[in-house]
């Protein structure tokens, strides 16, 4: 055996490198969907197949990371109420599906296997892996948040830059927005917003430490803002601005030594860049959509779906109305010629499906993650990028997708809660 050849056991351990698994999980979850969808589009493959392969691969590497932690690292005993509450939340979710289909003849808007697959593989597994991988890394001090955020910014730039090039070839930038027939511009817009926020956090951290900032991070901000504007996604624009607004009010609480003048200037500059990008790159239809927010047909339809969901919650406040809410929303949306079955708001959906019990479980998981994350940022400002992505994913979940359809939200909840080792240092 030559020196370059590794024994199978050693090779296996190198592949199952926890920091690498955490980095890969974050990268694919944040930026994978546009690239996979565009590759499938160029090859003439169905986007559904691309998403199943991508989410399946993410789940596989997450499970491999959890396997190594539990079977190779018996040094640590993990005991967390947060983990139990996350499992309890999804137990309620799956129980309501089974109960509704079995006893109430509820017809699912999408195949049942898909609801289970997205809930288990793209939500529960991601939340658990985010928690345990982060906890393992912070206990072992095997990962430094600053190089990780810089790496994510650079590799995210490569992934989204490749997506932008593929989009330029076909369908081309004559298209009214950054999206495909099978790629909703919402996840594309949020992927772009994540890239911009990562670049901003790296630049800010390096400036405060008086280090030279790589030009690639400025490119990350520029490309992220451009693609976010081109997607025409209002929630993505809000997700770009919200961290700065929180930053202004919470900088002192977070122990970040930044003057209010710099904070307000950062907000003004970022707002101006986003507005200019929308004016330059967004089509007239998208600009009209943004200006008429709250009064355009799309906003009115979503408000009606939220109202219907809340009516069901009021009728069944403790345990909710179950998955017949999806059926009612689907019947309402079909009158508009749409095929929507969820209210586009995680909290409202939790209230309507599982009542107060399910909503309280969700709120506990969210609040505990935020609490650990803010404590960690107070101790080490290099965790700021995680807080920014946490805020963005929260906004994402409040305006888009059903409970199993925003993997970023569950991953950031897990990472935030997993920082409890750093928050108690």
Contacts of 287 (CB under 8 A, 6+ apart): 278, 279
Output the pLDDT for position 200: 85
pTM tops 0.75, yes or no: yes
Judge whether 179 lies within some domain.
Answer: yes
**Residue keyed to tokens 């789940």:** 59
Judge whether 79 lies within some domain.
Answer: no
Domain extent at residue 389: 16-72+88-423
Judge whether 265 lies within some domain.
Answer: yes
Judge whether 229 lies within some domain.
Answer: yes
Q: How many CB atoms lie within 10 A of CB 81?
A: 12
Output the pLDDT for position 2: 43
Output the pLDDT for position 137: 84
- Partners of residue 183 on adjacent β-strands: 180
CB 418 within 8 A of CB 241: no
Judge whether 3 lies within some domain.
Answer: no
Judge whether 163 lies within some domain.
Answer: yes
Length of the chain (residues):
425
3-state secondary structure the chain: CCCCCCCHHHHHHHHCCHHHHHHHHHHHHHHHHHHHHHHHHHHCCCHHHHHHHHHHHHHHHHHHHHHHHHHHCCCCCCCCHHHHHHHHHHHHHHHHHHHHHHHCCCCCCCCHHHHHHHHHHHHHHHHHHHHHHHHHHHHHCCCCHHHHHHHHHHHHHHHHHHHHHHHHHCCCCCCCCCCECCECHHHHHHHHHHHHHHHHHHHHHHHHCCCCCCHHHHHHHHHHHHHHHHHCCHHHHHHHHHHHHHHHHHCCCCCCCCCHHHHHHHHHHHHHHHHHHHHHHCCHHHHHHHHCCCCCHHHHHHHHHHHHHHHHHHHCCCCCCCCHHHHHHHHHHHCCCCCCCCCCCHHHHHHHHHHHHHHHHHHHHHHHHHHHHHHHHHHCHHHHHHHHHHHHHHHHHHHCCCCCCCHHHHHHHHHHHHCHHHHCC
Find, among 387, 418, 409, the residue nearest to 132 by Cα: 418
Domain count, the chain: 1
Judge whether 347 lies within some domain.
Answer: yes
Judge whether 5 lies within some domain.
Answer: no
Half-sphere exposure of 267 (CA within 13 A, CB side): 15
Mean pLDDT, consecutive 10-residue segments, the chain of 425 residues? Answer: 48 67 95 94 91 94 90 62 95 92 79 90 95 84 71 95 93 84 88 92 75 82 87 83 75 67 64 65 60 67 91 92 89 82 93 96 96 89 90 93 93 92 58
């Amino acid at each position: 055996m030559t020196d370059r050849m590794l024994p199978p056991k050693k090779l296996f351990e190198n592949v199952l490198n926890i920091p690498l698994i955490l980095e890969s999980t974050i990268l694919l979850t944040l930026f994978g969907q546009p690239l996979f969808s565009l590759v499938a589009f160029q090859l003439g493959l169905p986007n559904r197949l691309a998403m199943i392969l991508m989410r399946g691969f993410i789940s596989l590497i997450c499970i491999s990371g959890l396997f190594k932690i539990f079977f190779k690292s018996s040094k640590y005993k993990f005991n967390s109420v947060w983990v139990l509450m996350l499992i309890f939340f999804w137990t309620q979710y799956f129980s309501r599906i089974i109960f509704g289909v079995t006893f109430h003849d509820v017809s699912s808007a999408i195949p049942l296997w898909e609801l289970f697959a997205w809930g288990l593989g793209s939500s529960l597994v991601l939340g658990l892996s985010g928690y345990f991988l982060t906890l393992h890394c912070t206990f072992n001090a095997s990962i430094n948040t600053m190089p990780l955020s810089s790496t994510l910014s650079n590799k995210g730039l490569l992934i989204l830059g490749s997506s932008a090039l593929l989009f330029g070839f076909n369908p081309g930038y004559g298209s009214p927005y950054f999206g495909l027939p099978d790629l909703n511009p919402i996840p594309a817009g949020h992927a772009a917003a994540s890239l911009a926020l990562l670049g901003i956090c790296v630049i800010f951290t390096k400036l405060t430490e008086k280090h030279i900032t790589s030009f690639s991070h400025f490119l990350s901000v520029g490309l992220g803002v451009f693609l976010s504007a081109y997607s025409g996604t209002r929630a993505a624009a809000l997700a770009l601005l919200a961290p700065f607004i929180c930053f202004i009010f919470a900088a002192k609480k977070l122990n970040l030594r930044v003057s209010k003048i710099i904070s307000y200037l950062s907000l003004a500059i970022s707002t101006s860049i986003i507005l200019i990008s929308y004016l330059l790159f967004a089509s007239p239809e998208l600009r009209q959509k943004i200006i008429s927010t709250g009064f355009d047909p799309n906003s009115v339809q979503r408000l009606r779906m939220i109202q219907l969901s809340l009516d069901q919650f009021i009728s069944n406040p403790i345990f909710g109305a179950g998955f017949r809410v999806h059926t009612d929303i689907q019947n309402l949306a079909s009158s508009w010629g749409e095929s929507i079955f969820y209210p586009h708001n995680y909290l409202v959906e939790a209230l309507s499906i599982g009542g107060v019990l399910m909503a309280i479980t969700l709120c506990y998981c969210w609040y505990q993650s935020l609490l650990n994350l803010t404590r960690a940022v107070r101790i080490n400002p290099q965790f700021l990028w995680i807080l920014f992505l946490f805020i963005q994913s929260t906004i994402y979940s409040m305006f888009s997708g059903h409970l199993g359809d925003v993997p970023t939200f569950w991953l950031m909840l897990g990472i935030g809660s997993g920082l409890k080792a750093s928050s108690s240092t």
